[in-house]
């Protein structure tokens, strides 16, 4: 579909000079080729995640709870989710950023309606005491994942519309604060504090990058930290998680709230430097709960050791850095919405990966957050891939403009 356009512009100069020094500092040869390095990193994370989901879940049918499933049940479903995500991503890449900007407020409204719907009895499905999913036949839709995506677009759009008042902190931030509060209350009702944390960080990160007064930004950040601290202090089961995190080897915690953490640490200990080999994990044999979702990294650590964990961390660091670079490039081209969206995606994936890795390694309290692109989960993989497709579209439009083209 893009071939005629590429043919028309084939004689354009390889590089164009802009008066904006921020553009010139990138000093890149501009072409219409997609960022293949970024695509390969995404591909490696998806494939590695697929392999590890299979490794972590292949023995689950031995558990009476999953006796009616086959050893390939989860990997086939995860592969189907990845296939669906790829199709959605190809479609999303065709959509100009201007259209995403126009529909951003409506997507946010839809996300609120879905968060309300999941709390309605017989609509939302309860798993392990949490009502977070809406059954849709083949897939269980998780509104909190859609909310991350919708909040990202909404806050970026809001900052573009309110650029003239960004220095007036309370006038600029209060509407976003109310939006985050409403979403947070709905998420806490599920409960899903992990998703609330990610959404709050996405919103605050975009506000900061959008140029909101820095001093007041840090004041509101401190207030958010205080609010999360208060929620933990007033919730007995959240306090128990903190105590279990501080002393997971205590006999009371090891068999209770610290069970997952203690077995995750055992998995990393068994893996040592090079791991016990693919498929050789012992902890995945019904010792470590949620090994194919929240604690997938622990299985990677046991089977591939420190080397495998370092590779995964390195891939996420590179991914986050590259997406931030694309966002900075868009802002330098006076494409504020596109730049803030790209940087918001970097904050989203980077922060969630940081939390998941920290939880698995025992550096952070246990939180119900999956490893982006890798852990088992349909809605999460779908919206991670959708967000990355938009980043690739932003990069494409950046290159188009730098060669003098027009959408």
The domain locations on the chain are: 34-94+257-407, 98-234
- Rounded mean pLDDT of 71-99? 93
Q: Which two tokens stand for residue 158?
A: 């809001």
Q: How confident is the model at residue 75 (pLDDT cuts 50, 70, 90)?
A: very high
Give the pLDDT confidence score for residue 18 in this predicted structure: 44
- Average per-residue pLDDT in the chain? 83
Q: What HEC string does the chain produce? A: CCHHHHHHCCCCCCCCCCCCHHHHCCCCCCCCCCCHHHHHHHHHHHHHHHHHHHHHHCCHHHCHHHCCCCCCHHHHHHHHHHHHHHHHHHHHHCCCHHHHHHHHHHHHHHHHHHHHHCCCCCCCEEECCEEEEEEECCEEECHHHHHHHHHHHHHHHHHHHCHHHCCCHHHHHHHHHHHHHHHHHHHHCCCCHHHHHHHHHHHHHHHHHCCCCHHHHHHHHHHHHHHHHHHHHCCHHHHHHHHHHHCCCCHHHHCCCCHHHHHHHHHHHHHCCCCCCCCCCCCCCCCCCCCCCCCHHHHHHHHHHHHHHHHHHHHHHHHHHHHHHHHHHHHHCCCHHHHHHHHHHHHHHHHHHHHHHHHHCCCCCCCCCCCCCCCCCHHHHHHHHHHHHHHHHHHHHHHHHHCCCCC
Give the pLDDT confidence score for residue 298 in this predicted structure: 94
User: Is the torsion defined by CA of 104, 345, 219, 217 positive or negative?
Assistant: negative
Distance CA 273, CA 149 (A): 37
Q: How confident is the model at residue 24 (pLDDT cuts 50, 70, 90)?
A: very low
Give the pLDDT confidence score for residue 100 in this predicted structure: 95
Q: How confident is the model at residue 48 (pLDDT cuts 50, 70, 90)?
A: very high
Contact status, residue 374 vs residue 198, Cβ threshold 8 Å: no
| Tens-place pLDDT, residues 338-395 | 999 999 999 999 999 999 999 999 888 877 789 999 999 889 999 999 999 999 999 9
Out of 5-9, 33-37, 401-405, pick the least confident: 5-9
Residue for token pair 């007041």: 216
Distance CA 100, CA 390 (A): 9
| 265 vs 19 pLDDT, higher one | 265
Q: Is the pLDDT of residue 248 over 60?
A: yes
| 25 vs 125 pLDDT, higher one | 125
Query: What is the β-pairing status of strands 125-127 and 139-141?
Result: unpaired
| Tens-place pLDDT, residues 134-166 | 888 777 889 999 999 999 999 999 888 876 655
Give the pLDDT confidence score for residue 225 in this predicted structure: 75
- Of 5, 1, 4, the C-alpha closest to 399 is 5
Give the pLDDT confidence score for residue 254 in this predicted structure: 67
Q: What is the pTM of this model?
A: 0.86
- Rounded mean pLDDT of 315-337? 95
Give the pLDDT confidence score for residue 181 in this predicted structure: 86
Give the pLDDT confidence score for residue 13 in this predicted structure: 38
Q: Is the pLDDT of residue 9 over 50?
A: no
Q: How confident is the model at residue 216 (pLDDT cuts 50, 70, 90)?
A: low
Give the pLDDT confidence score for residue 165 in this predicted structure: 56
Q: Is the pLDDT of residue 32 over 70?
A: no
Q: Which two tokens stand for residue 4?
A: 């005629």
């Amino acid at each position: 579909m893009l071939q005629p356009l590429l043919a028309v512009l084939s004689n354009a100069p390889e590089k164009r000079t802009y008066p904006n020094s921020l553009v010139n500092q990138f000093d890149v040869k501009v072409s219409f080729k997609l960022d293949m390095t970024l695509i390969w990193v995404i591909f490696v994370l998806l494939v590695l995640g697929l392999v590890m989901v299979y490794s972590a879940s292949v023995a689950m049918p031995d558990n009476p709870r999953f006796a009616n499933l086959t050893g390939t049940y989860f990997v086939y479903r995860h592969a189907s989710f990845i296939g669906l995500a790829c199709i959605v991503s190809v479609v999303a890449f065709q959509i100009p950023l201007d259209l995403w900007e126009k529909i951003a407020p409506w997507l946010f409204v839809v996300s609120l309606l879905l968060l309300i719907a999941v709390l309605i009895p017989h609509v939302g499905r309860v798993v392990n005491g949490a009502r977070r999913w809406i059954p849709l036949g083949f897939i269980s839709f998780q509104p909190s994942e859609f909310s991350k995506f919708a909040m990202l677009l909404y806050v970026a759009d809001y900052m573009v519309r309110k650029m003239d008042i960004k220095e007036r902190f309370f006038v600029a931030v209060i509407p976003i604060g109310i939006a985050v509060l409403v979403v947070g209350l709905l998420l806490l009702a599920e409960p899903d504090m992990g998703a609330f944390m990610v959404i709050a960080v996405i919103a605050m990160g975009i506000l900061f990058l959008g140029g909101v007064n820095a001093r007041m930004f840090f004041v509101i950040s401190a207030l958010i930290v205080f609010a999360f601290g208060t929620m933990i202090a007033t919730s007995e089961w959240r306090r128990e998680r903190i105590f279990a995190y501080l002393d997971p080897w205590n006999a009371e915690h090891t068999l209770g709230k610290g069970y997952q953490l203690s077995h995750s640490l055992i998995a990393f200990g068994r893996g040592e430097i090079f791991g016990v080999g693919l498929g050789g994990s012992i902890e995945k044999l019904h010792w470590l709960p949620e090994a194919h979702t929240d604690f997938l990294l622990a299985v990677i650590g046991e089977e591939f050791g420190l080397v495998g964990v370092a590779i995964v961390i390195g891939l996420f660091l590179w991914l986050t850095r590259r997406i931030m670079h694309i966002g900075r490039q868009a802002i330098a081209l006076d494409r504020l919405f596109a730049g803030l969206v790209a940087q918001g995606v970097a904050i989203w994936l980077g922060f969630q990966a940081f939390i998941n890795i920290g939880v698995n390694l025992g550096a952070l309290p246990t939180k119900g957050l999956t490893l982006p692109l890798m852990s088992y989960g349909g809605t999460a993989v779908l919206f991670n891939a959708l967000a990355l497709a938009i980043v690739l579209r932003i990069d494409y439009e950046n290159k188009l403009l730098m060669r003098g083209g027009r959408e």
